């Protein structure tokens, strides 16, 4: 676990490499599409998720339209995402809940989002962060993994890591810190084959040389 100076050094390094992190997600800004995207993404690689999402949105891109879609139609469109039967049921149930309980609109609070079937803390925060642009430190699997590998946060659950990051990240880095971690986990500090040779933090990393740990 890095001390405060170590944490500072990590974010300073990010800030030097990317002074103005204006990165915006490639995915949709529409809350509904973001929501469907995260549900599709479970246990699936990003490329396949995007393909599945495109095919589904061509047929239904609103909660009402999705709720009205027959189950087999949904399943057929999202095959590339894998687990399509299970996910089709989940998506339909989610769409129905949106229509039934939320007037066919995606709720704008964490509580409202988590109230939906198939939506947990991670998915809710991702919608808040990337679609609704709230200053929420969404700790998805990328941010979680990077935080632990680097020693920024040692907590065992994403929830606690979020708290720890919020407490330890110097104020001046703001949400940029979150974007750096997110991107770094996706592109460099990957789960399976981390690209340690391409890592700008290699000398600061506690897991340097361990690679597949955590």
Interface ranges with DNA (CB under 7 A): 27, 37-38, 41-46, 48-50, 79-80, 82-86, 114, 117-124, 126, 140-142, 156-157, 186, 190-192
Residue from 33, 87, 92, 140 carrying the catalytic annotation: 140
Cα 90-137-142 angle, rounded to 5 deg: 65
8: tokens are 């500072």
CB of 208 to DNA, least distance (A): 18
Closer CB to DNA, 24 or 86, in the complex: 86
Residue 122 annotated among the catalytic residues of the structure: yes
Distance (Å, rounded) from C-alpha 75 to C-alpha 61? Answer: 15
Closer CB to DNA, 26 or 172, in the complex: 26
Report yes or no: 207 and 3 within 8 Å, Cβ to Cβ. no
Closer CB to DNA, 2 or 140, in the complex: 140
Report yes or no: 132 and 106 within 8 Å, Cβ to Cβ. no
SS3 81: helix
29: tokens are 């800004």
CB of 181 to DNA, least distance (A): 13
How many other CB atoms sit within 10 Å of the CB of residue 1? Answer: 14
Query: Which residue, among 69, 59, 214, has the nearest Cα to 148 in the 3D structure?
Result: 214
Residue 51 annotated among the catalytic residues of the structure: no
Closer CB to DNA, 39 or 177, in the complex: 39
Closer CB to DNA, 8 or 163, in the complex: 163
SS3 1: coil
Distances (CA, A) of 42 to 27, 101, 163: 16, 24, 24
CB of 189 to DNA, least distance (A): 10
Query: Which residue, among 169, 86, 8, has the nearest Cα to 94 in the 3D structure?
Result: 86
CB of 32 to DNA, least distance (A): 15
CB of 19 to DNA, least distance (A): 25
For CA atoms 211, 4, 121, 60, give the dihedral sign.
negative
Residue from 33, 92, 122, 125 carrying the catalytic annotation: 122
Please give the positions annotated as active site.
122, 140
């Amino acid at each position: 676990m890095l001390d405060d100076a170590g944490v500072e050094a990590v974010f300073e390094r990010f800030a030097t490499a990317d002074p103005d992190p204006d990165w915006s997600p490639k995915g949709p800004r529409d809350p509904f599409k973001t929501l469907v995207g995260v549900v599709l993404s479970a246990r699936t690689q990003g490329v396949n998720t995007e393909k599945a999402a495109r095919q589904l949105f061509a047929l239904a891109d609103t909660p009402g339209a999705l709720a009205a879609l027959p189950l087999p139609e949904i399943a057929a469109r999202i095959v590339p995402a894998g687990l399509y039967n299970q996910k089709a049921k989940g998506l339909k149930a989610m769409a129905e809940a949106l229509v039934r309980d939320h007037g066919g609109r995606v709720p704008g609070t964490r509580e409202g989002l988590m109230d939906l079937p198939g939506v947990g803390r991670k998915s809710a925060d991702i919608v808040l962060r990337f679609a609704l642009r709230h200053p929420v430190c969404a700790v998805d699997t990328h941010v979680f993994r990077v935080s632990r590998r680097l020693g920024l946060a040692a907590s065992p659950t994403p929830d606690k890591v979020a708290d720890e990051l919020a407490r330890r990240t110097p104020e001046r880095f703001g949400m940029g810190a979150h974007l750096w971690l997110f991107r770094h986990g996706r592109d460099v500090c990957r789960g399976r084959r981390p690209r340690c040779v391409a890592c700008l933090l290699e000398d600061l990393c506690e897991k340097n040389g361990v690679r597949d740990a955590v």
